[in-house]
């Protein structure tokens, strides 16, 4: 475990550099365990739930549902994500925050109304992923463990306790560094997808007529003939593509080619074959509570249950790691308050743990399992958060395409294609709205809470920035007041300041109130740029104001970790300061909110003040030496 890492030197663009020519079997299999864990476990419940929503198990329903699932996989995952969304990346990184950074939505000031609208979309999309992170482990593990009841009904009473134990153990294992066992995820998922394909082929051979459902004609005819259940069926069919958003979110880890190879040659064929195998089983007339586990008989059933449980754990692990990475990026882009992050790899910025987020998500997941107690009940709440997150991603992607310079013809085509996908996402969101009364309010409620906290943080940060601007002293005024005064100590001092050209209040107070003047004063501000990584030769920008006063701007990407003393040690030496004897002075501001309901922004400011008191202190965030760090506390009335 790495708690205070020196910033990694990796500055390439992972989606292209290093992955283009070398994306072989290793990266492809690795992508199976991380990118396709969630969508890979959808056969456990998606076909069953969709068939139940159709209200029957006759041939038209089976053919219609299979055709809908197949073409949802083709249109949403293959065409939209693989061949369209993945065409845009932020220095190799993908995901909703990468798009937000490309659109420069991380700025505190100067956002136009349309940018504020896009910022709201980005915050909503990220928050919906937090809601999804609670439900995915619950439904994946529950649906896998329900195979115990297929072995023998006498084991039904163990389903919830076993699922709960697995989930608690999984979240607890994060504190030990679950990434260490991640190398086995890819091979296990390869076996899982192989089992999906083989079990499906066996049933398709028995009922080859099921392959007719490949034609989209069956999907169109079914929806037209059954308008009363069309929305419910489409909402259930969407469960087959949940997890598809991981293709874009994990772009930086594996690159476009490895993800494409894993989907086109392994995951997609295996999923399609298994769904058609389940359809063939139903058409054959065999009665089973679970079409998936009905594919296995005899000694193969316990093996299938064990492998399904392992696959569900892997799917859950991928979601847990993803949400930790999303939380970390949100903090760096100033969408959420800083929290402690534990890193387990010196080179992989995605191998991390956010303890507070992990504990909260784990607790909520356990509550969800105890509340819903079955995958069938939970399916009514699952899907709406992912549909909303996908819609947010497509909307931001459209905004990027609209802003993108280029030839008129290609620009019109790219915008038109994206609008079509936006319409598809809207259709799935609409289909999932019927789940609100049956449990869909749960992820919406969780996501709304995250949105409230994120908005509160941004409002509070903007308010604090205005307060700080009013307290700062101009550079000329400070130099005039302090000109010619001799230093009172031979030590040098680094003052952490926000970006800007003025003198921070901490330096003014040390000079005027404490009557302390250092031999060398260095004003250091840290700038998180809207790219994942900043090259080493671009990280430091120094301005020498006079021999004893300098300003340093440290630029980092939103995926890079910060060990500030290590980053500026070379500059301190060149300024004549001893890095091992330099004092760090930080303003520790305590925001004081007005009464919670005293004004329109009262609840937001109250939430901000609470989060600010609980947030990671700058000294810890930047890994400053405790014995040489002075924190000046002061209240700030919002």
Task: Kindly report the length of the chain.
Answer: 638
pLDDT digits (tens, 9 = 90+) for 218-248: 999 999 999 989 999 999 999 999 988 888 8
Rounded Cα gap, residues 49 and 38, in angstroms: 17
pLDDT digits (tens, 9 = 90+) for 86-122: 988 887 888 888 888 888 886 666 567 788 888 889 8
Whether the Cβ atoms of residue 128 and residue 135 lie closer than 8 Å to each other: no
Percent of the chain with pLDDT over 70: 89
Higher per-residue confidence, 466 vs 387: 387
**Strand order across the 518-528 sheet:** 540-546, 549-556, 518-528, 489-496, 583-592, 629-637
pLDDT digits (tens, 9 = 90+) for 316-370: 888 888 888 888 888 877 888 888 888 777 667 777 888 889 999 999 999 999 9
pLDDT digits (tens, 9 = 90+) for 131-173: 888 988 999 999 999 888 888 788 888 999 999 999 999 898 8
Chain centroid, CA 32 distance in Å = 18
Q: What is the mean pLDDT of residues 188-200?
A: 95
Fold of 34-460: Amino acid/polyamine transporter I (1.20.1740)
CATH 1.20.1740.10 residue window(s) in the chain: 34-460
| pLDDT exceeds cutoff 50 at 584 | yes
Rounded Cα gap, residues 417 and 419, in angstroms: 5
pLDDT digits (tens, 9 = 90+) for 243-297: 888 888 888 888 889 999 999 999 999 999 999 999 999 999 877 788 999 999 8
Q: Which of 429, 380, 435, 339 is nearest to 121 (CA)?
A: 429
pLDDT, position 501: 58
> Within the chain, what is the greatest distance between any pair of CA atoms?
95
Q: What is the pTM of this model?
A: 0.84
pLDDT digits (tens, 9 = 90+) for 621-632: 899 999 999 888
Higher per-residue confidence, 350 vs 520: 520
């Amino acid at each position: 475990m790495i708690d205070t890492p020196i910033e990694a030197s990796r500055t390439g663009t992972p989606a292209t550099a290093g992955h283009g020519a070398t994306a072989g079997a290793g990266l492809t299999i690795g992508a199976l365990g991380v990118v396709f864990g969630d969508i890979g476990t959808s056969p456990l419940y998606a076909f069953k739930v969709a068939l139940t929503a159709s209200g029957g198990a006759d041939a038209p329903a089976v053919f219609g549902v299979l055709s809908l699932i197949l073409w949802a996989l083709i249109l949403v995952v293959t065409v939209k994500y693989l061949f369209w969304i993945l065409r845009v990346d932020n220095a190799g990184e993908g995901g909703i925050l990468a798009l937000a950074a490309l659109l420069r939505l991380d700025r505190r000031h100067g956002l136009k109304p349309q940018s504020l609208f896009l910022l709201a979309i980005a915050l909503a999309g990220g928050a919906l992923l937090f809601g999804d992170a609670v439900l995915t482990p619950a439904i994946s593990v529950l649906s896998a463990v329900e195979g115990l009841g297929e072995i023998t009904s006498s084991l039904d009473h163990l389903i919830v306790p076993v699922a709960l134990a697995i989930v608690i153990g999984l979240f607890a294992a994060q504190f030990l560094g679950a990434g260490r066992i991640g190398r086995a995820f890819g091979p296990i998922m390869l076996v899982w997808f192989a089992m999906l394909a083989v079990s499906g082929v066996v049933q398709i051979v028995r009922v080859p007529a099921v392959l007719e459902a490949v034609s989209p004609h069956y999907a169109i005819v079914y929806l037209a003939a059954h308008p009363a259940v069309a929305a419910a069926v489409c909402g259930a069919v969407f469960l087959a593509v949940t997890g598809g958003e991981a293709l874009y979110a994990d772009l930086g880890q594996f690159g476009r080619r490895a993800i494409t190879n894993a989907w086109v040659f392994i995951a997609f064929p295996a999923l399609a074959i298994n769904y058609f195998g389940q359809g063939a089983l139903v058409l054959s007339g065999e009665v089973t509570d679970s079409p998936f586990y009905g594919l296995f008989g005899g000694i193969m059933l316990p093996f299938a249950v064990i492998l399904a449980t392992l696959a569900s754990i892997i799917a859950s692990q991928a979601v847990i790691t993803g949400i930790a990475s999303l939380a970390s990026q949100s903090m760096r882009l100033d969408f959420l308050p800083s929290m402690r992050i534990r890193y387990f790899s010196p080179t992989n910025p995605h191998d991390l743990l956010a303890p507070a987020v992990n504990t909260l998500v784990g607790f909520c997941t356990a509550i969800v399992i105890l509340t819903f107690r079955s995958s069938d009940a939970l399916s009514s709440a699952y899907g709406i958060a992912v549909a909303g997150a996908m819609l947010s991603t497509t909307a931001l992607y459209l905004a990027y395409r609209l802003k993108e310079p280029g030839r008129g013809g290609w620009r019109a085509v790219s915008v038109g294609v994206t609008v079509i996908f936006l319409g598809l996402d809207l259709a799935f969101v609409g289909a999932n709205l019927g789940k609100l009364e049956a449990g869909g309010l749960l992820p919406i409620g969780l996501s709304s809470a995250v949105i409230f906290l994120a908005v509160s943080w941004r409002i509070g940060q903007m308010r604090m920035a205005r307060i700080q601007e009013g307290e700062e002293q101009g550079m000329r005024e400070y130099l005039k007041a302090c000109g010619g005064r001799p230093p009172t100590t031979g030590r040098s001092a680094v003052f952490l300041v926000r970006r800007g050209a003025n003198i921070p209040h901490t330096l003014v107070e040390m000079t005027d109130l404490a009557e302390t003047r250092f031999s060398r004063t260095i004003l250091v501000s840290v700038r998180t740029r809207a790219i994942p990584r900043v090259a080493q030769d671009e990280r430091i920008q120094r301005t020498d104001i006079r021999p004893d006063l300098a300003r340093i701007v440290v630029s980092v990407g939103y995926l890079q970790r910060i060990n500030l003393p290590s980053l500026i040690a070379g500059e301190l030496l060149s300024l004549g300061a001893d890095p091992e004897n330099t004092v760090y002075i930080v303003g520790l501001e305590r925001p004081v909110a007005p009464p919670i309901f005293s004004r329109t922004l009262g609840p937001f400011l109250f939430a901000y003040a609470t989060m600010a008191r609980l947030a990671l202190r700058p000294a810890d965030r930047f890994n400053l030496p405790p014995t040489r760090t002075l924190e000046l506390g002061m209240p700030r009335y919002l």
